[in-house]
Amino acid sequence: MIEKIEIKKRLGTLQYNTDSEENAHIKVNKEICSKCPHHACTYACPAQCYQIVGGKLTFRYEDCIECGICDIVCDQGAVKWNMPRGTYGVVYKEG
């Protein structure tokens, strides 16, 4: 199993061209999240974009690696995921 420190190190090799929040490729309905019985997104997201802080879900779209797993594991309908616009999104390290 890869340690969290190694994951953060690997994520540090990515480049991001982040779009504005109103044009973010992921929209999270926090009202729905507040009623979620399990918060599966906090366990499934490899970039740890979803976290529970002070009993509430926080989300950082800027760190997203565009894997789409949050859209798959959210069975509450809180996550709306789309491909980023044009030149926006993550750029993976080559090689």
Domain coordinates in residue numbering, the chain: 4-91
Integer Cα distance of 52 and 40 in angstroms: 11
pLDDT of residue 12: 74
29-38 pLDDT per residue, tens: 989 999 999 9
User: 80 in helix, strand or coil?
Assistant: strand
For the chain, list residues with pLDDT below 70. Answer: 1-5, 94-95
Architecture of domain 4-91: 2-Layer Sandwich (3.30)
| Stated pTM of the model | 0.78
CB-side exposure of 75: number of CA atoms within 13 Å? 5
